[in-house]
């Protein structure tokens, strides 16, 4: 009976270790993705101040439309 409990504990420990390794991999993947996205959003040296803080393409398109309207309307 004790031997069966010991084998059960060993198996549970192996499963837990596998889960920890999987979670570590997920964290590494998410960190990599975060760093990639963060780099993609980094300001460039000649970026116009009007573009600062825009996060999505929709925001950028909206800002372009706004600025175009300002130029056209004078």
pLDDT at 74: 59
Which residues 6+ apart lie within 8 Å of 50 measured at CB?
A: 63, 67
Question: Does residue 59 have a pLDDT over 90?
Answer: no
3 and 22 in a single domain? The answer is yes
Average pLDDT of the residues of the chain: 86
Domain identity same for 33 and 50: no
The residue with tokens 């980094």 is: 42
Based on the fold, state whether residues 6 and 32 are members of the same structural domain: yes
Domain that holds residue 1: 1-42
Same domain, 2 and 38: yes
Q: Give the span between the Cα atoms of 32 and 26, in whole angstroms.
A: 10
Do 66 and 30 lie in a common domain? no
**How far is it, in rounded angstroms, from Cα 74 to Cα 67?**
10
48 and 38 within one domain: no
**Within its chain, how far is the Cα of 32 from the centroid?**
8
> pLDDT band for position 21 (50/70/90)?
very high
Domain count for the chain, please give it.
Answer: 2
Report the alpha-carbon distance of residue 16 to residue 22 in Å, rounded.
10
């Amino acid at each position: 009976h004790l031997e069966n409990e010991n084998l059960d504990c060993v198996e549970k420990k192996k499963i837990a270790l596998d889960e920890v390794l999987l979670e570590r991999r997920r964290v590494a993947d998410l960190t990599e993705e975060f760093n990639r996205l963060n780099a993609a959003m980094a300001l460039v040296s000649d970026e116009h101040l009007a573009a600062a803080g825009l996060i999505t393409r929709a925001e950028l398109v909206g800002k372009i439309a706004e600025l175009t309207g300002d130029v056209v309307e004078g």
